[in-house]
Amino acid sequence: MEMTEHSVERHLMVVIGGTGDLMRRKLLPAMRLLTERGPLRDRVVILASGRRASFDDESYREWAREALDESGLPADANGSGWCDRCLHYQAIGDQDRQDFEGLRARIEELEREHDLPGNRIFYMATPPGAFIETVERLGEVGLGEGPGWTRVVIEKPFGYDLESARDLNRRIHRHFREDQIYRIDHYLGKETVQNLLAFRFANMLFESVWNRDRVGSVEILVAEDVGVGSRGEFYDGVGALRDVVQNHMTQLLTLTAMEIPVEFEADAIRDEKIKVLRSLSAIDPSQVVFGRYAAGEIGGEPVPGFLDEEGVAEDSATETYVAMRAYISNWRWQGVPFVMRTGKRLPEKLTKITINFRCPALAIFQTHSQATVRANSLVITLQPDEGFDLCFEVKQPGDPLRLQTQSLRFRYEDAFPDLPDAYETLLVDVAQGDQTLFVRADEVEQSWRLYAPLLESRPPPYPYAAGTMGPREAERLLVPRGEACPI
Span of 289-298, 366-375, 376-385, 425-434 with lowest mean pLDDT: 366-375
Please give the mean pLDDT across all residues of the chain: 89
Q: Alpha-carbon distance 421 to 36, whole Å? A: 15
pLDDT (0 to 100) of residue 53: 86
Q: Which is higher by pLDDT, 480 or 393?
A: 393
Does residue 83 fall inside a structural domain?
yes
Report percent pLDDT > 90 for the chain: 60
Last residue of a domain, one of 100, 132, 155: 155
* Residues 229 and 100 grouped into a single domain: no
In a domain, 484, yes or no: no
- Give the C-alpha separation, 28 to 82, whole Å: 11
State the pLDDT at residue 481.
57
pLDDT per position as a tens digit, 15-39: 999 998 899 999 999 999 898 778 8
141 and 215 in a single domain? The answer is: no
Q: Is residue 46 part of a domain?
A: yes
Instruction: Let me know if residue 487 belongs to a domain.
Output: no
Q: What is the pLDDT of residues 360-369, one digit of tens each?
A: 876 677 666 6
Among 87-91, 105-109, 435-439, the minimum mean pLDDT is found in 435-439
Last residue of a domain, one of 155, 171, 203: 155
Residue 258 has pLDDT above 50, yes or no: yes
Supply the pLDDT for residue 367.
65
Any domain includes 180 = no
| 177 located within any domain | no
Confidence grade of residue 89 (pLDDT, cut at 50, 70, 90)? very high
- My answer on whether 130 and 36 are in the same domain is yes
User: Residue 173 domain-assigned?
Assistant: no
Burial class (CB in 10 A: 0-12, 13-18, 19+), 352: buried
| 227 burial type by CB count under 10 A (0-12 exposed, 13-18 middle, 19+ buried) | buried
Question: Does 270 share its domain with 349?
Answer: yes
- Residue 44 structural domain: 5-155
> Do 81 and 213 have their domain in common?
no
**Positions marked active-site:** 248
Tens of pLDDT, residue by residue over 125-157, are 988 778 888 999 999 999 998 899 999 999 888
Maximum distance among all Cα pairs of the chain, rounded to whole angstroms: 84
User: Are 397 and 462 within one domain?
Assistant: yes
Considering the domain architecture, whether residues 81 and 215 belong to the same structural domain is answered as: no
Same domain, 88 and 228: no
Residues 247 and 354 reside in one and the same domain: yes
Provide the CATH number for the domain around residue 450: 3.30.360.10
Domain count, the chain: 2
Do residue 136 and residue 194 come from a single domain?
no
CATH of residue 36: 3.40.50.720
Go through 468-481 and write b for each residue having 16 or more CB atoms within 10 A of its CB, e for each that does not.
Answer: bbbbeebeebbbeb
* pLDDT at residue 338 in the model: 97
Specify if 182 maps to a domain: no
Is the model more confident about 190 or about 218? 218
Does residue 146 sit in the same domain as residue 199?
A: no
- 54: confidence class by pLDDT, cuts 50, 70, 90: confident
Same domain, 150 and 229: no
